[in-house]
Structure 1
Amino acid sequence: MRFSGHGAGTGEEEQEERNGQAQGGPASPGLRRACAFNLGAAYVESGKPKKGLEFLLQSQPSEGESGEDLEDLYFNIGAAHEGLRDFPKALECFGKATGHAARAARCFLDAAQTYMSAASPEAAAVALSRASGSMLQSRCFGPAEIAGVLAQCRSLCESIPDPALRGNAAPQPLLSALALCGAEPDRRREAALLQNLGAAHNALRSFGTALGWHRRAAALHSALGNRRAQGQCFGNLAYACSQLGNHEAAAENYLHALQAFRDSGDVQGQWQVCEGLGSACFHLGHPQKAIGHYKEALTLLSHCQDTPRSARERVVHKLTDAIQHQLCLRGRLSRRGGWAPTPQDSDHLRFCSTLPHTSKTGSEV
């Protein structure tokens, strides 16, 4: 807690205050503000934030008056609001108190816990996002702590159904963390962050922007020999291409992803990519190839445990659609007024990477 010895008065004001006190006169406004400031700070420090806030608000300078201790005042008011669990106001005050990033980070983390307890993942993810930025600014937190907050933020983002809200919390802290990687080189962490940035932009439906992140992440994972993660990046890149209408590029990247997942033995990744590859072939006017990929996806799905039933139902629906379209092309259905193919997407497809954990012996995935 920050205390003030004399408030915001000038040297002449302080002398006048002392003269007034010696003569038994009333204290000047500057002295009253200083007393209110210190009383408020003392109450907050002693665990009485409500009483402390009352005095701190009285210590604010009047309009038109200057104040040299405003930074400390904002910090203490923020601490009072934090004690009252009014996190939005606390964070607003901490934002005005430059140089207190560590305290702001802890406040954001407390806010995230409160929002999670209140079953509000959107607000919790945003609070964690802001916390990671403050942690980076303060330089009081180690890479492992920041990586843990980023991973928690990413996990929460994945649980948010609204794509706009999901993406809103993700990119900025990841961009900040890339700066950390530049200061403390860690290629594996950088690759994971690049991959997550791409996935975040996919969630935001900023597919054009996402392409560059996907390519950079795939190249870095390749240099590091992480074949499975490289496959995930190719899968993300393929999905972005499909959403931009470039189905040829989507099919090509899905094939790269499929081979990478085969090389790494990732059956879960294989069936997801087969589904995406089927959709790409369908859009390119190759229903027979789409049928083959959907069938392969279903075969692979049978070997995966804990996969949602809805995933299998979705692939079955797409397979049926492709078969009907194939029959239509062969003239077995009426050319007019009959069945028409429905758009096929792989909206579920988004591969994120777990950030490496830093330990005394090095980094581990």
Structure 2
Amino acid sequence: MASDASPPGKEEVKVRKRRSRREVQRKAADIEGSTSAGHKALQEGRPEDALSCFKDAVKAAAQLQDSRVLRACSFNLGAAYVEAGRPQKGLDFLRQAQPGPKADRIPDLQFNLALAHNALGQSKEASTFFLQAAQLYRSQGDGRSEGDACMEMSRCYSRTQDWSLAVQGFLRAAESYRVVAMLDSAAAALKEAGSHMIQSDQFSQDDVTGVLSECLSLTDSVTDPRTLGELYLSVGVSYCRLRCFQEAVQCFQLALGPAAQQPPLLAKVMHNLGAALNSVGQFTPAVGYHRLAAGLYGSLGCRGDQARCFSNLAFACGQLGDEEEATESFVVALQGFRDTEDHLAQVQVCESLAECYLRQRKQQKAVQLYKQALSALSHCEDSGGVQDRLVERLTAALQQSLTVSPQRPRPRRPRPLRSLPHSSPVGQHARKSDITQSPGTAANQQSDEQRGQGPGSDKQAVAEHCGSAGGGATETPEYMTMTPGLHSSFQSDQLQHSELWSDRENPHTDSDPSLAQEAEATPTSPGDIKEATPLVSRWRSRFCSLM
């Protein structure tokens, strides 16, 4: 008779082994199911549900006592934490995913570590991991992933204003996308490269225009209308920053069709097109685009952008000799800038409006406007040179109001200060080039100046290039918008000016080239133009499958 302590028989051992195998298979099925559910939750935009699923997978993997499966589950959970906006927690699990030297040979792990550091604001560390991921992807022949890593790496360089490194990364991304025939993504990368080249002092204008031309050569491969419209808009803004306004006009006109069904994008395109037409002296067609853009911005609740359009409209009307509409438009623009507390714009509009009143011999109103300009200027930084000019013009206007005689046909205008570096809100001055026919206008269309419609035939074109080091070559764009300058001169030859401004929240710090200023109150604001590519899934982290 066998004792209770006797070893189990062969049959009992076989039963235990079968039970153990079934238990392993059950846990493996649970892990696979949780992982699959986590992926689905991410695809459907439910990050918290995804986290719950991946946590279940990690718990089951720990019980399974399979280190390979546990590392894979930790990898997914870490990536999900990054996607859910908890990058530090994500880093902890990602570091558990592959301890030891082999971690340096897993490209997706390096990519996710880079995303986590990037989310923590550690751009330098993030760029290092993205570069390592790109090199590993290249060694595996994965051109798409290499391009994605290079794009993200360049955005990191952009945030630290390493423009040249950012350009190199975008160009490498374009090359990688070309290899795998992702020409739409390659076009987006070239667009970014061109925008950032403008920020660097290591590239000539020919270098930049060469890249922009190459980008435009790929537009036939872009099938999504919104993406195509954003691409033309971004390239047009880059041309504006190079003062190649005719090329900019063509790009903006090409953007009109693709943007037609996207009101925020369409408003931005017409805004820029009107300003570019101002810059080449074609004021009559510019007026129409200013009005259309202002109306669209109004319907979208973008008060600041609408005010810029009215200031553009005022300038164009002034050049066409319509003083009444110019004055009314400046008044509307000024109220918009007050509503949005844009003090510098208030200064500029007040000065321009004061000039309108002086031409109408309304000295007292001009005096009030100069005083308002000085008041708004007190809220601005580095206002010394501008303040001196405003004080001199205020003094001159006060003297005019006391000495003007009814017999005088016109009041004596205040004498402007001599040009001083950085003393004006408007930037550099340059002679305007000959006006040529722009696409979409009548064959016999001439510039308004050539027809003598403007108040002067020998005007200067003035442009201020606001660095897209912020909207700066990315973040941002990056995207930039052009509005005619708001500062005026009292010289008989009025200045035509166009101000280039960025519409990104962090221009060229996250290369989302939007090309107009962020709108105040719309879910999809004109400043929300996103780079069309790389075309990635709804989550940016990399995940792996199991079993």
Q: TM-score range by the shorter chain?
A: 0.5 to 0.7
Q: Answer yes or no: is the 8 Å Cα contact 2:290–2:310 preserved in 1.
A: yes
Q: Answer yes or no: is the 8 Å Cα contact 2:353–2:369 preserved in 1.
A: yes
Q: Answer yes or no: is the 8 Å Cα contact 1:125–1:169 preserved in 2.
A: no
CA distance in 2, matches of 1:314, 1:131: 45
Report the 3-state secondary structure (helix = DSSP H, G, I; strand = E; otherwise coil) of the residue aligned with 1:304: coil
The letter for the 1-side match of 2:528 is: P
Q: Answer yes or no: is the 8 Å Cα contact 2:366–2:397 preserved in 1.
A: yes
Report whether the alignment pairs 1:171 with 2:249: yes
Q: Which residue of 1 aligns with 2:435?
A: none
Q: Which residue of 1 aligns with 2:330?
A: 254
**Residues 346-365 of structure 1 aligned to structure 2 (within 5 Å):** 347-348=496-497, 350=499, 353-354=516-517, 355-358=527-530
Can you list the C-alpha shifts for 1:71-106, whole angstroms capped at 9, x where unaligned? Answer: xxxxxxxxxxxxxxxxxxxxxxxxxxxxx9998998
The letter for the 2-side match of 1:170 is: A
Report the 3-state secondary structure (helix = DSSP H, G, I; strand = E; otherwise coil) of the residue aligned with 1:239: helix
Equivalent in 200, 208, 211 of residue 276 of structure 2: 200
The letter for the 2-side match of 1:224 is: L
CA distance in 1, matches of 2:350, 2:203: 35
CA distance in 2, matches of 1:327, 1:120: 54
**Cα offset for 1:141?**
7.9
The change in CA–CA distance for 1:129 and 1:204 in structure 2 (over 3 A counts) is farther
The letter for the 2-side match of 1:198 is: G
Q: Answer yes or no: is the 8 Å Cα contact 2:219–2:228 preserved in 1.
A: no
**Cα offset for 1:245?**
2.0
Q: Which residue of 2 aligns with 1:15?
A: none
Can you list the C-alpha shifts for 1:132-151, whole angstroms capped at 9, x where unaligned? Answer: 53343222788558736743
Report the 3-state secondary structure (helix = DSSP H, G, I; strand = E; otherwise coil) of the residue aligned with 1:170: helix
Report whether the alignment pairs 1:325 with 2:325: no
**Cα offset for 1:190?**
0.8
Q: Which residue of 2 aligns with 1:225?
A: 301
The change in CA–CA distance for 1:262 and 1:107 in structure 2 (over 3 A counts) is closer
**Residues 46-85 of structure 1 aligned to structure 2 (within 5 Å):** none
Q: Answer yes or no: is the 8 Å Cα contact 1:167–1:200 preserved in 2.
A: yes
Q: Answer yes or no: is the 8 Å Cα contact 1:232–1:257 preserved in 2.
A: yes
Q: Which residue of 1 aligns with 2:240?
A: 157
Can you list the C-alpha shifts for 1:33-87, whole angstroms capped at 9, x where unaligned? Answer: xxxxxxxxxxxxxxxxxxxxxxxxxxxxxxxxxxxxxxxxxxxxxxxxxxxxxxx
**Cα offset for 1:227?**
1.2
CA distance in 2, matches of 1:317, 1:156: 36
Report whether the alignment pairs 1:301 with 2:377: yes
Report the 3-state secondary structure (helix = DSSP H, G, I; strand = E; otherwise coil) of the residue aligned with 2:530: strand
Equivalent in 370, 391, 404 of residue 316 of structure 1: 391
Q: Answer yes or no: is the 8 Å Cα contact 1:214–1:236 preserved in 2.
A: yes
Q: Answer yes or no: is the 8 Å Cα contact 1:238–1:253 preserved in 2.
A: yes
Q: Which residue of 1 aligns with 2:484?
A: none
CA distance in 2, matches of 1:349, 1:293: 22
The change in CA–CA distance for 1:297 and 1:233 in structure 2 (over 3 A counts) is same
**Cα offset for 1:220?**
0.8
The letter for the 2-side match of 1:174 is: F
CA distance in 1, matches of 2:192, 2:303: 35
**Structure 1 vs Structure 2 CA RMSD:** 3.9
Q: Which residue of 2 aligns with 1:60?
A: none
**Cα offset for 1:194?**
0.6
TM-score, normalised to structure 1, is 0.57
**Cα offset for 1:157?**
2.5
The change in CA–CA distance for 1:105 and 1:144 in structure 2 (over 3 A counts) is closer
Q: Which residue of 1 aligns with 2:219?
A: 136
Report the 3-state secondary structure (helix = DSSP H, G, I; strand = E; otherwise coil) of the residue aligned with 2:281: coil
Q: Answer yes or no: is the 8 Å Cα contact 2:350–2:372 preserved in 1.
A: yes
The change in CA–CA distance for 1:212 and 1:284 in structure 2 (over 3 A counts) is same
Q: Which residue of 2 aligns with 1:290?
A: 366
Q: Which residue of 1 aligns with 2:259?
A: 181
Q: Which residue of 2 aligns with 1:279?
A: 355
CA distance in 2, matches of 1:155, 1:104: 14
**Cα offset for 1:349?**
5.9
Equivalent in 196, 204, 222 of residue 120 of structure 1: 204
CA distance in 2, matches of 1:310, 1:124: 35
- Alignment size in residue pairs: 250
TM-score, normalised to structure 2, is 0.39
CA distance in 2, matches of 1:104, 1:189: 19
CA distance in 1, matches of 2:403, 2:228: 57
Greater helix fraction, Structure 1 or Structure 2: 1
The change in CA–CA distance for 1:110 and 1:255 in structure 2 (over 3 A counts) is closer
5+ residue gaps, structure 2, are 1-182, 416-489, 502-515, 518-526, 532-536, 539-547
The change in CA–CA distance for 1:347 and 1:234 in structure 2 (over 3 A counts) is same
Q: Answer yes or no: is the 8 Å Cα contact 2:190–2:211 preserved in 1.
A: no
Can you list the C-alpha shifts for 1:292-351, whole angstroms capped at 9, x where unaligned? Answer: 1011011101101255x44334433432332332233059xxx8xx96655355745647
5+ residue gaps, structure 1, are 1-99
Structure whose alpha-carbon radius of gyration is higher = 2
Q: Which residue of 2 aligns with 1:211?
A: 287
CA distance in 1, matches of 2:217, 2:224: 10
**Cα offset for 1:282?**
1.1
CA distance in 2, matches of 1:222, 1:191: 10
Q: Which has the higher contact order (CA 8 A, sep 6+)?
A: 2
CA distance in 2, matches of 1:346, 1:132: 33
Can you list the C-alpha shifts for 1:185-217, whole angstroms capped at 9, x where unaligned? Answer: 321111011101111111112212210110010
